[in-house]
Structure 1
Amino acid sequence: MRFKSSLRPLLAASLTTLATGGALSQDLPRPDLGKLLLTGGVSAFEGSGGGGLTPWALITGYGTRNSYGGNIHYTFFDSGDYQVKSPGVALGIADRFELSYAEHKVETEGGALQGVTVRQNIFGVKLKVLGDAVYDQDSWLPQIAVGAQFKDHQGIRGLGGTTKPTDLGAKKNRGTDYYVSATKLFLAQSLLLNGTVRLTKANQFGVLGFGGDREDRYKPQLEASAAYLLARDWVVGAEYRSKPRNLSIDREKDAFDVFLGWAPNKHLSVVLAYLNIGPLVTGAPGSPINPKTQDGYYLSVTAGF
C-alpha cells in the first residue's frame, strides 16, 4: 500500500486541527505549553523537529511529558536555479514521540532544466530514548532520540521521457533514512550542540531517488548543529550535513547552513538562513547539465503549540 493513500486523510485532519487550535480528542487535555521557549526546536525542511537542515533529539512542540504539542510549517529555499517549497505538519506526544510529514516540491527556474518539477513526500517518526536536554544540566549525558524518515518520490515532470529517479540511474524511487541524534543543551552558556548519524541511500535528500550505479548500500552520514541564544527569543547557529555519492550523473557534495531564528512566543518561529547544498545536476558522466553550486536564502515559518 502506498503511504500517501493511507496517511493523507489523517494528515489533512491533523492540519485542520492544528490550524483551528481544536483538541485532538475530547478525552485529551489541552496542550500545556510547558517547555521552555525554543526547546522544541524549529522545523527541519524534512519535517522533523530540530534545525533547518538536520533533526535534533528534541521532540517538536511545547507539550511536556503529560501533554502534547504540534505545528504546521512552511519552508522556502531559492538557489537561483532551483526553488524548493515545503509545507508540513508535526505532532509531539508526551515529549517522547514525534510524528511528522513534509512535502518537497522542487522547481527549476532557468537553464537547460527550465520547467522541470520534482515532488516527494516525507513521513517521519522519532522516539526519545534517553536523557533530557533541559533537566539533565548536572549530567554529561545528552538527550538521545532515534528516528526514521520514509521518503516516497512522486515523480519528475518536464524532462521528456524521464519521469522518475530510476530513469536517471537511481536504484529505487522510494527509501527510508534511519538516524540517531544526540542533543546537549547548556543553559548557563546559552548553547545547544547536536550530532546526528544517518543511515541513508538518498540522492540529494531523495529528490534524485535512492542508490545508484556507484553505490547502493546504506552508509552512515554525519550531521552537526550548534546554536547560541543571543536573547530569550533570538538564536544564531550553523549546521553541516554530509551526503552520499551514489550517482555518476550527480556531483553531490555536503550541505551546510548559517541561520538566524526568532521566536516571539511559543506559537510562532521564523528562521532565515544561508543554505549551500552543493551542485544539483542531471546529465551524462563528465557532461553535467548544471554543475554549479546551489546556494541561496532559506526561510522557514512555524506556527504551533
Structure 2
Amino acid sequence: MSFEVLSREFRSTVGVGGRVTALFLLAASALAAAAPAPAREGKLLLTGGVSSIDGAAGGGLTPWALTGSYASVGQFGASAYLTRLRTQDYGLTGYGVATSFDERIELSLARQDFDTGRTGTALGLPGLRLKQDIFALKLRIAGDAVLDSDTWMPQIAIGLERKRLDAGGLAPTLHALGADDRGTDVYLSATKLLLAQGVLLNTTLRATKANQNGLLGFGGTARDRYKLLPEFSVAWLLRRNLAIGAEYRFKPDNLNPSLLGNGLAEDDWKDLFIAWAPGKNLSLTLAWVDLGRIVPAVVDRHQSGAYLSAQVAF
C-alpha cells in the first residue's frame, strides 16, 4: 500500500468521524494556546517519541520511559494525536491528548474506537463498535536519556493505564466469559538512547489482564490474574528528523480456552515503522502492523495492515 493511498484512507476516516476531527482540532488548538513558548526550545527532535495507541509517549505499540512533548526541565508541554489502523477485517481509530511537566511527569487521555467489521455481523451484532477510554500516568524515576547517552544508564519510568471498555451488545458475552469491563495495566520502562550512534532501545515490562489490549475486557474464566509480559522497541535515526524501527509486544491469552474453545486465542503484536518530524510541532508515523489472530473462531487468519498516526506537540 503506497503512502498516497494510505493518506487518502486516513483523510477519509477523519472526514467520516466528524466528532473525532472536531475534538482533535479543538484539543490541538487549545494545547497550542496553552503551552508556554520555551517548551519548543526543549528536547531534541523526536526524543519525546510519538503517541502510542494507548496515548502514552513511546512507539506505536508500546510506551517508552521518555515523557511526551518537547518540555524540558522546569517546563510544561502538551501533545495531541490522531491514529488510524486498518487490517483485513478490522479498523481502529484512536485519538487523545497528553501533558508533561519537568521531563518527569506525563498525564494522557486516549479514546479508541474499534470497528468489528464482519465479525460483529457473524456474532449477530452488525455494526458493532468497541470503545475504550484510557487514562494514563507516567513518572520518570531514574536516569536521563540525553544526558546519560554516553553511559550505560537508561532512563527509567513507571506507568499506569486505567482502561474502561464500552462493549455495546457484546458486553453480556464478555461477562459470561468472566471478563471485566474495567482494568488497570502497570508497567516499568527502560529507554536507552545511544546518541552518537543514533539508536534508541526500549524494554517495557507490563503487568496486565487486558484481552486484546482491553477491547475484549480484562481477565476471564480461563485466567483471571495479572501476567507480567515484556515489550521491546528499537529505533534508528537515519537523520535528525527521520527514524525507522521495530516493536514486539507479548500479549496474554486470558480467554483461551473458553466456552468457545480456542476461538478467542490472542497472539503477540509486532510492527515496523518510520517516523518523520518535519518540525518540532508535527510528527507523522507510518507502520506495517501484525496483530495476529483476533477472534479466530470467526476470522481464522492473521490481521496485518497499515497504521498511520499524526501528532502535534509543544
TM-score by length of 2: 0.85
Deviation at 1:109, TM superposition (A): 2.8
1:14-33 aligned within 5 A: 16=26, 18-20=28-30, 21-23=32-34, 31-33=39-41
| 1:214 aligned counterpart, secondary structure | coil
Taking the aligned partners of 1:213 and 1:23, their CA distance within structure 2 comes to: 46
Deviation at 1:164, TM superposition (A): 5.0
Runs of 4+ in 1 over 6 A off after TM superposition: 12-15
Q: Identity over aligned residues, as a percent?
A: 45
1:19-58 aligned within 5 A: 19-20=29-30, 21-23=32-34, 31-58=39-66
What is the match of residue 73 of structure 2? 65
1:130 aligned residue (142, 155, 173): 142
Taking the aligned partners of 1:185 and 1:301, their CA distance within structure 2 comes to: 23
Report the residue type matching 1:120 in the other structure: Q
Deviation at 1:115, TM superposition (A): 2.0
Decide whether aligned partners of structure 1 residues 13 and 95 sit closer, same or farther in structure 2, where only a CA change above 3 A counts: farther
1:199-218 aligned within 5 A: 199-218=207-226
Deviations 1:124-171 (A, max 9, x none): 0000000000011232110000000000012234xxxx3356335143
Deviations 1:183-239 (A, max 9, x none): 000011000000000000000000000001211101101100000001111100000
1:277 aligned residue (291, 295, 304): 291
Q: How many residues align?
A: 282
TM-score by length of 1: 0.87
2:160 aligned residue (124, 145, 148): 148
Q: What value does the CA root-mean-square deviation take over the aligned residues? A: 2.0
Report the residue type matching 1:290 in the other structure: V
Deviation at 1:242, TM superposition (A): 0.3
2:298 aligned residue (279, 285, 289): 289
Is 1:191 aligned to 2:203, yes or no? no
Taking the aligned partners of 2:158 and 2:173, their CA distance within structure 1 comes to: 28
Name the structure with the higher helix share.
2
Taking the aligned partners of 2:25 and 2:134, their CA distance within structure 1 comes to: 15
Q: Is the 8 A contact 2:209 2:252 kept in 1?
A: yes
Report the residue type matching 2:184 in the other structure: T
Deviations 1:14-38 (A, max 9, x none): 98464242226xxx77534310000
Taking the aligned partners of 2:37 and 2:298, their CA distance within structure 1 comes to: 54
Taking the aligned partners of 1:40 and 1:14, their CA distance within structure 2 comes to: 20
Decide whether aligned partners of structure 1 residues 302 and 29 sit closer, same or farther in structure 2, where only a CA change above 3 A counts: closer
